[in-house]
Amino acid sequence: MTSKVETVVSVRSRNFVHSENLPQKVVSLLYGDIDSGVLAPGNRLPTEQQLAARLGVSRNVIREAIAQLRADGIVEARQGIGVFVLAPEQRAAIRIDRAALQDAGNMERLFELRSVLETEAAALAAIRRSPDQLAAIKAHLDRMSGEERWEDGSIDADLAFHREIAKATDNTYIHTFISFVCEQIRQTIYYARKINPLHDLVTVNVGEHVRIYDALVAGDPKAAAHAMRHHIHGAAERVGVKLGEYPREAETAAKRKKAAT
Amino acid sequence: MTSKVETVVSVRSRNFVHSENLPQKVVSLLYGDIDSGVLAPGNRLPTEQQLAARLGVSRNVIREAIAQLRADGIVEARQGIGVFVLAPEQRAAIRIDRAALQDAGNMERLFELRSVLETEAAALAAIRRSPDQLAAIKAHLDRMSGEERWEDGSIDADLAFHREIAKATDNTYIHTFISFVCEQIRQTIYYARKINPLHDLVTVNVGEHVRIYDALVAGDPKAAAHAMRHHIHGAAERVGVKLGEYPREAETAAKRKKAAT
DNA sequence: AAAATTGAGTTGTAGGATGATATGAGGACT
DNA sequence: AGTCCTCATATCATCCTACAACTCAATTTT
């Protein structure tokens, strides 16, 4: 078999809460210990037997959990010695706790990341989009417009619209990252709709998308970036999140006080 | 025990041929079958026992391998039925061969993503950075300046500088994403130095960093973004990659021909 | 003192046994 | 005939024991 070095970007476990595996629980637990510093980088994990005994599961479950951590680059297992926590620089693993996304503050940060990524992506897409990609983007836009209310289909079309733009950047990495974020957004929206019914501002939403699309057609990166940023800020507000001022256009914000973390 | 749903972005590296695990081999094998279409989306995998018998390993090994595929969102195991290959849309898992990073084109895309992310991050950091974070950034800058040539230590300090800025955005997601990209960059640089010795333009490099730092101190997001963008384009050139024009400042580029993907 | 041996501890692999869950076949009842 | 129930079967999920391979340190031997 090939000895490739691969990079895997993965969205783990969709919204099925139904039956979380035992190994998954162990993974969450160990992740928590590592994040909270109980298990610092360089530390050795308890032995598989100890973990099995402490958590009341079999050693196989522990092994599957550790296999995942190892696959994610969080720990390193050395036969005959033990399992060790890797330094954050080495681990290069992103973990987004989806439960944390239900916090409004985290949702705000997620939308901010989205703004950062997609604003520039729109500018790139405006320059590079092919006619075919324009058509695909238009198709999603039409599908979105067809919906009367903000239903699931509309959300799917909305996100597909954004993914298509990301694809039009002709940059796999940007596409990958934005797809990833979009998936998070989808989960977040599903949750947000449970706690408070969203405003049915389809008209506004579609209008914002149309402006983005027009900028792409015109091949105007500046306009595309601006329209995208405006849209994402609007979308954030519609799910109950208020983003800060546009960083690039509002230097005055530099004077506001910032509490140290 | 918590019932968290998690999302993980991970770098998996199995270039170490020395001790490739049995489960890793099985993962590679199944990945290959899925990629090549032998196992199409919707198909059911052979049962654990069949796989174990066919590959001559124990079921535990098969289980660990499948657990990883499941963690990556490639397959879905349903108790009592079997393990099924997910459709690419559902799987939301993209595999990037790191060998591809050694292609100049991919390196260019990676730097482009970096530009997208860090430009905006610099603007945010200019607004939000705390005094402590400024000090930390300065420390990395000094460490970088101390090096005579572009050695490993200098590279580490360089990347740490960027990570610290990402951290100063006060946005965990942005920080995480940029850290991830930085790690890819590090791998890329190590490779790039093998094929052709890099230019030792430490002075230039440090100068660019100083400009970024000054903008952060001044709290000027526009200047920070501009300095960062300029720096990343310069850094890309120093490793032999020429990025396109600044998308936001050069609308004229919209007219250039673009071959469809 | 240096080298070889031994032993304990740990992860890696093997294989069986049992529980949980989904599917489909067959029969009983309406 | 159609519906519902029960049961056998297939499969994953978990548990268990045992052994192999590896590392390290203490012990013994040279």
Please list every residue in chain A whose beta carbon sits closer than 8 Å to the beta carbon of residue B95: 6-8
| Percent of chain A residues past pLDDT 70, beyond the cut | 70
Please list every residue in chain B whose beta carbon sits closer than 8 Å to the beta carbon of residue A261: 130, 170
Q: How confident is the model at residue A100 (pLDDT cuts 50, 70, 90)?
A: low
Give yes or no for CB of A47 within 7 Å of strand D. Answer: no
Give yes or no for CB of B22 within 7 Å of strand D. Answer: no
Domains defined for chain B, CATH in brackets: 22-90 (1.10.10.10), 98-253 (1.20.120.530)
CA distance B16 to A112: 38
Per-residue model confidence (pLDDT) at position A195? 56
Give yes or no for CB of B79 within 7 Å of strand D. Answer: yes
* Mean pLDDT score, B245-261: 41
Count the Cβ atoms, other than its own, within 10 Å of residue A257. Answer: 4
- With CA atoms as reference, report the closest residue to A203 among A147, A138, A143: A147
Q: How far does A35 lie from chain B, in Å, by closest CA? A: 13
B14-73 pLDDT per residue, tens: 333 334 678 888 988 888 888 777 888 888 999 999 999 999 999 999 999 998 888 877
Residue with CA nearest C1' of nucleotide D11: B80
Q: How confident is the model at residue A251 (pLDDT cuts 50, 70, 90)?
A: very low
| Percent of chain B residues past pLDDT 90, beyond the cut | 29
Q: How confident is the model at residue A28 (pLDDT cuts 50, 70, 90)?
A: confident
Protein-proximal positions, strand D, CB < 7 A = 10-17, 21-24
Please list every residue in chain B whose beta carbon sits closer than 8 Å to the beta carbon of residue A60: 60, 63
B116-148 pLDDT per residue, tens: 899 989 999 999 999 999 999 999 888 887 766
CA distance A179 to A195: 25
Per-residue model confidence (pLDDT) at position B228? 94
DSSP string, B201-255: -HHHHHHHHHHHHHHHHHT-HHHHHHHHHHHHHHHHHHTT------TTT-GGGGG
Give yes or no for CB of B189 within 7 Å of strand C. Answer: no
Q: How far does A173 lie from chain B, in Å, by closest CA? A: 7
Q: How far does B45 lie from chain A, in Å, by closest CA? A: 19
Looking at residue B106, its amino acid is N
Contact (CB<8Å) B258/A8: no
Contacts of B203 (CB under 8 A, 6+ apart): none
| Percent of chain B residues past pLDDT 70, beyond the cut | 70
**Mean pLDDT of chain B, nearest integer:** 76
Q: How confident is the model at residue B239 (pLDDT cuts 50, 70, 90)?
A: confident
Is it the case that residue B195 has pLDDT exceeding 50? yes
Indicate the range of A18-22, A24-28, A47-51, A81-85 predicted with least confidence. Answer: A18-22
Closest nucleotide (C1' vs CA) to A59 is: D15
Contact (CB<8Å) A261/B7: no
Position with higher pLDDT, A205 vs A40: A40
The three-state secondary structure class of A32 is helix
Contact (CB<8Å) B184/A7: yes
Contact (CB<8Å) B8/A4: no
Report the chain A residue with the minimal C-alpha distance to residue B63: A64
| Model confidence, pTM | 0.72
- With CA atoms as reference, report the closest residue to B258 among A169, A222, A211: A169
Distance A81 CA to C1 C1' (A): 29
CA distance B223 to B214: 9
Is it the case that residue A131 has pLDDT exceeding 90? yes
Q: What are the residues facing A77 on neighbouring strands? A: A83
Per-residue model confidence (pLDDT) at position B172? 82
* CB within 7 A of strand C (chain A, 10-39): 19
A155-175 pLDDT per residue, tens: 778 888 998 999 999 888 888
Distance A71 CA to D21 C1' (A): 22
Per-residue model confidence (pLDDT) at position A199? 56
Contact (CB<8Å) A29/B1: yes
**Mean pLDDT of chain A, nearest integer:** 76
* Mean pLDDT score, A163-192: 81
Establish, for the pair of chains A and B, how many residue pairs have beta carbons separated by less than 8 Å. Answer: 301
A210-223 pLDDT per residue, tens: 999 999 999 999 99
Backbone phi, psi, residue A42, to 5°: 95, -25
Is it the case that residue A122 has pLDDT exceeding 80? yes
Q: How confident is the model at residue B214 (pLDDT cuts 50, 70, 90)?
A: very high
Q: How far does B42 lie from chain A, in Å, by closest CA? A: 17
Per-residue model confidence (pLDDT) at position A205? 76
Per-residue model confidence (pLDDT) at position A7? 41
